[in-house]
Amino acid sequence: MPPDSPSTRRLQGYALLFSGMALVGTYVALSKPLTGAFPVFLLAWLRFAIAAAAMLPWLRRRPGEAPLDGRLLGTIFVQSLFGNFLFSILMLTGVSMTSAAAAGVILAMLPAAVALLSWLVLRERLGPRTWTAVALAVGGVVVLTLGRSSGGGAHSVVGNLLVLGCVFCEAVYVILGKRLTASLSAKRISALLNLWGLALMTPLGLWQAAGFDFGAVGARVWSLLLFYALAASMFSTWLWLSGLRHVPANHSGVFTIAMPLAASAVAATFLGESLGPAHAVAFACAAGGILLIAVPARAASASTRNGPDI
């Protein structure tokens, strides 16, 4: 197969998409030990601060990019409010209260959440397959929650709901992102979003930093924090957007299945978590919903020529 052929580029795109989503699942799972070492607001603030320093070159305006007018700045602010600030608080708090594997599976409900918000906010029409995917997503979260609560883990019920809340924050982030990519480069959008996240988190981060003993944090935890900051703000975004250059948009959603796969593998291998029947059922629901949305039937694909049907 020639190295520059369309098939080769598409395979490379698939590899980048899978790697990006696997990295998301990995850092979500590894954020659990970080929440045991740092308070949530301080942890999120340190993440944004480290990433801001690393992404300084990404702030440079490229030739042909639109100037940052009030409309763009407002969109970036709202997107960062939901996708960075609230997402980080809900995700880190939720992961500290539930298992890393459960959090990864719940995050795989993102395609269904995006479809549901598109219907509620953008008034886009949803087909039967998408409604089925939404139902599977709800069922997966219910199975996880009931499985944990019946085992005496009522504390994790709140954690699961918080992680579900961060899924909808990320869905708002995705929907608003459609307005930005036509005007700004992906790198500059990522850097600006991270700066807004840093600004929003700074008061809360400084408040918790004032009484925190930084000397008690070991080198291993600091290394894990560096990985988390760069993976969450830089590498996973770059991998995902680079993959999208070579893959049709309607194929990309299926690769979010790598998120719960990686989160579950890290949780079982490195964090010592046990995976029970509830995880398996919820994972099956997530996988089914992703496939229904990302791999539509031929008839459904043909109907999109006449109107939106996601």
Q: Is residue 48 part of a domain?
A: yes
Task: Say what the pLDDT of residue 54 is.
Answer: 95
Q: Is residue 144 part of a domain?
A: yes
Instruction: Provide mean pLDDT across the span 229-241.
Output: 83
Q: Give the Cβ contact number of residue 149 at 10 Å.
A: 14
Residue 113 has pLDDT above 60, yes or no: yes
Q: Is the pLDDT higher at 143 or at 35?
A: 35
Task: Say what the pLDDT of residue 243 is.
Answer: 77
Q: How far is CA 173 from the centre of its chain?
A: 10
Task: Say what the pLDDT of residue 308 is.
Answer: 31
Task: Say what the pLDDT of residue 85 is.
Answer: 93
Q: In the chain, what percentage of residues exceed pLDDT 70?
A: 85
Give yes or no for a contact between 25 and 266, defined as CB atoms under 8 angstroms apart. yes
Tell me the pLDDT tens digit for each residue of 62-82: 887 777 888 888 888 998 999
Measure the CA–CA gap between 214 and 224, rounded to whole angstroms: 15
Task: Say what the pLDDT of residue 297 is.
Answer: 53
φ and ψ at residue 40, rounded to 5 degrees: -60, -50
What SS3 string covers the chain? CCCCCHHHHHHHHHHHHHHHHHHHHHHHHHHHHHHHHCCHHHHHHHHHHHHHHHCHHHHCCCCCCCCCCHHHHHHHHHHHHHHHHHHHHHHHHHHHHCCHHHHHHHHCCHHHHHHHHHHHHCCCCCCHHHHHHHHHHHHHHHHHHHHHHHCCCHHHHHHHHHHHHHHHHHHHHHHHHCCCCCCCCHHHHHHHHHHHHHHHHHHHHHHHHCCCCHHHCCHHHHHHHHHHHHHHHHHHHHHHHHHHCCCCHHHHHHHHHHHHHHHHHHHHHCCCCCCCHHHHHHHHHHHHHHHHHHCCCHHHHHHCCCCCCC
Measure the CA–CA gap between 240 and 189, rounded to whole angstroms: 14
Residue 273 has pLDDT above 60, yes or no: yes
Q: Which domain, by its residues, includes 30?
A: 6-303
Measure the CA–CA gap between 221 and 166, rounded to whole angstroms: 24
Q: Is residue 308 part of a domain?
A: no
Residue 224 has pLDDT above 70, yes or no: yes
Q: Is residue 265 part of a domain?
A: yes
Task: Say what the pLDDT of residue 165 is.
Answer: 93
Chain-wide mean pLDDT for the chain?
A: 81
Task: Say what the pLDDT of residue 37 is.
Answer: 95
Measure the CA–CA gap between 102 and 285, rounded to whole angstroms: 13
pLDDT class for 227, splitting at 50, 70, 90?
very high
Task: Say what the pLDDT of residue 17 is.
Answer: 80
Tell me the pLDDT tens digit for each residue of 144-181: 777 665 554 566 788 888 999 998 988 887 777 666 66
pLDDT class for 109, splitting at 50, 70, 90?
confident
Least confident piece of the model among 23-37, 258-272, 293-307: 293-307
Q: Is residue 309 part of a domain?
A: no
Residue 211 has pLDDT above 60, yes or no: yes
* Residue carrying the six token digits 């030739």: 63
pLDDT class for 189, splitting at 50, 70, 90?
confident
Q: Is residue 264 part of a domain?
A: yes
Give yes or no for a contact between 18 and 258, defined as CB atoms under 8 angstroms apart. yes
Q: Is residue 310 part of a domain?
A: no
Q: Is residue 1 part of a domain?
A: no
Task: Say what the pLDDT of residue 225 is.
Answer: 96
Tokens found for residue 69: 């007018």
Provide long-range contacts, Cβ within 8 A and 24+ apart, for 177-183. Answer: 177/79, 179/75, 180/72, 180/75, 180/76, 180/79, 183/65, 183/66, 183/72
Distances, alpha carbon 222 to alpha carbons 40, 44, 199, 272, in Å: 15, 14, 22, 21
Measure the CA–CA gap between 171 and 149, rounded to whole angstroms: 27
Q: Is the pLDDT higher at 223 or at 179?
A: 223
Domain count of the chain? 1
Task: Say what the pLDDT of residue 14 is.
Answer: 79
Residue 40 has pLDDT above 80, yes or no: yes
